[in-house]
Amino acid sequence: MSEELNIRELNDKIQKESAFVDMINLEMEKVIVGQKHLVDSLMIGLLTNGHILLEGVPGLAKTLAINSLANTIDAKFSRVQFTPDLLPADLIGTMIYSLKQENFSVKKGPIFANFILADEINRSPAKVQSALLEAMAERQVTIGDSTYKLDDPFLVMATQNPLEQEGTYPLPEAQVDRFMLKVVIDYPKRDEEKLIVRQNIAKSFPKVSTILKPEDIIRAREVVKDVYVDEKIEKYVVDIVFATRYPEEYDLSELKNMISYGGSPRASISLTMAAKAYAFIKRRGYVVPEDVRAVCHDVLRHRIGLTYEAEAENMTTEDIITTILNRVEVP
């Protein structure tokens, strides 16, 4: 009985603490038509201190979404266009010699912001990608002899254009794993597109209002950690990830030759954290299996390696995840 009471108390607390989610959604709806999944994914990244890799053709409001989110929170936004001639110093900053003062001073780069949009991350060589990924993992950068902490909250949203592969440097698997979510964005629906056109040809484009401070997000992250995860849900998460490694143990022998490698423990951690954040967004104090299923594709799609046989049969990681979710027993 006491456990029931505790969960009820926790539920009430989270309902109160998550009130700002609806406010952010209302603000984002002023400028972003549709793309609910993109907005939810940004919120999950923000609430779990995770980064997001976005894939979608140009013009689907990726930049507008993260810029608008930064504006709803009184936070600093930086956009870096990745190009083949970009250097790590262009991203993190460098030492500059001053003739007047006869000494070196640090000029900080665009990475020193709360929200970073790394546009077309696969356009730059490995050394620039690894400079960004170090900042993402360590939350700090080294310039010269000194190490500088990055701002908190710190969210990187990197985009990839799936159309052009010429002159690109694909992210290695180990680096892609650093992104908590990989979100694939599709075209808007017909009615949504009409509304998008109407908004963009109007005399003035709507603007979002600032409703939160960075401290509010840091506090909300602590509350997300309190979201209750039952042992059965933990087992469900581990079963899903293990099914990507040893499919034959879950009566999925047909996938054994399709998967070259499965999700790492980072996948299990990310899946649990994302499910907690999703429950928080839905203003619930506990995780249900539906939360896990809702975030599963985004968490796992970049963490499963396909074999040549899978590619020959036109099987995607999406198909594999869907098959696993349909077969693994739901608590």
Contacts of residues 189-195 at CB distance under 8 Å and 24 or more positions apart, as own/partner, are: 189/34, 192/33, 192/34, 195/33
At residue 252, the pLDDT reads 84
Q: Which amino acid would we find at residue 123?
A: R
Q: Is the dihedral of CA 129, 131, 133, 136 positive or negative?
A: negative
Note whether 175 and 48 are within 8 A (CB). no
At residue 1, the pLDDT reads 39
- Three-state secondary structure call for residue 27: helix
At residue 3, the pLDDT reads 58
Q: How far apart are CA 131 and CA 141, in angstroms?
A: 8
pTM, rounded to two decimals: 0.86
Q: Measuring CA to CA, which residue among 265, 272, 263, 264 is closest to residue 291?
A: 272
Note whether 286 and 56 are within 8 A (CB). no
Query: Which CATH architecture best describes the domain 1-31+228-331?
Result: Orthogonal Bundle (1.10)
For the stretch 184-212, pLDDT in tens is 888 878 887 888 787 777 777 778 888 88
The stretches in the chain having pLDDT less than 70 are: 1-5, 162-168
Q: Looking at domain 35-196, which of 3.40.50.1260, 3.40.50.720, 3.40.50.300, 3.40.50.1220 is its CATH number?
A: 3.40.50.300
At residue 73, the pLDDT reads 86
At residue 295, the pLDDT reads 93
At residue 24, the pLDDT reads 85
Q: Which residues contact 100 (CB under 8 A, 6 or more apart)?
A: none
For the stretch 221-262, pLDDT in tens is 888 888 889 899 999 999 999 999 998 888 888 888 888 888
> Where are the domains positioned within the chain?
1-31+228-331, 35-196
Burial 174-191 (b: 16+ CB within 10 A, else e): ebbbbbbbbbbbeebeee
Q: How far is CA 116 from the centre of its chain?
A: 12
